[in-house]
Amino acid sequence: MLEERVLKELKEIVGEEDLLTEKEDLATYAYDGTTNWVKEPDAVVFPTSAEEVSRILKLANRERIPVTPRGAGTNVSGGSIPIQGGIVLCTTKMNRILKIDKENLVAVVEPGVVLMDFNVALAKEGLFFPPDPQSFLGATMGGVISENAGGPACVKYGVTKQYVLGLEVVFPTGEIVEVGGTTIKNVTGYDLPMLFTGAEGTLGVITKATVALRPLPPATKTLMVIFDDVAVAGENVYRVLSSGIVPSKIELLDNWVINSIERLQPMGLPREADALLLFEVDGVPEAVE
């Protein structure tokens, strides 16, 4: 339990509405997307700027209070669970898209921007951010970067670390630093953005990110191939890739997964199949067809 003087100082930093201390509220921030591990924090704060994050971390560092950065908590790795209690620093209110640079295929976002909302905004400019974790409907950009998230599209487009150009990060001691830049060929010195990408908030709190974008493909098509042997399905992934054709997405479903889907949300998948391969291809319409 945090001392009253600490809670008072946190309230002075973020305001009464952005500080949670009631047990019922804290329970919401005790688990991630799996609920496999549960540990309640002593307080939850919702900063709205890097300066507020800095003040919170300086306070926590001075008082030796553990801090767990958190976005939407959709991850399944345990990274957002406050195992040692202390403070959960939730970045969901830092949710502005600061810049979309269509000419240079770059955007600047705060960590609380929801991935789905980001791609909706980008689509209006004919762009998209390729990493597509299963949690894209709720996952925030800070979490996507901190988890180095991927998804089916990593086959063609790679994972998050390939799109992080620059970061603004607040160190545990409160210093606000900028690492990286705005260009892909930013090759001088250490690759510091990669140090924080996938670190699950253990090295600092991401408060701003500059990310690379891609033009939105004009056409996509999905194909389903049915197999009576899951091993043969796996072999065919290699055959497709070695042929020089690179689908934008590949997903292998074995019989257990097929039947699990059909039980929970029937969509007409062949329940007797030993495996399915789902392919998505994208590009110009002539090539897709």
Domains of the chain: 4-90 (3.30.43.10), 97-215 (3.30.465.10), 219-288 (3.30.70.3450)
Ramachandran bin of 286, using left for φ above 0, alpha for ψ from -120 to 50, beta for the remaining angles: alpha
Higher pLDDT, 289 or 189: 189
What pLDDT sits at residue 79?
A: 85
What pLDDT sits at residue 98?
A: 98
pLDDT tens digits, residue range 241-267? 999 889 999 999 999 999 999 999 999
- Looking at 127-136, 182-191, 197-206, 265-274, which range is the least confident one? 182-191
Structure tokens at 46: 């919702």
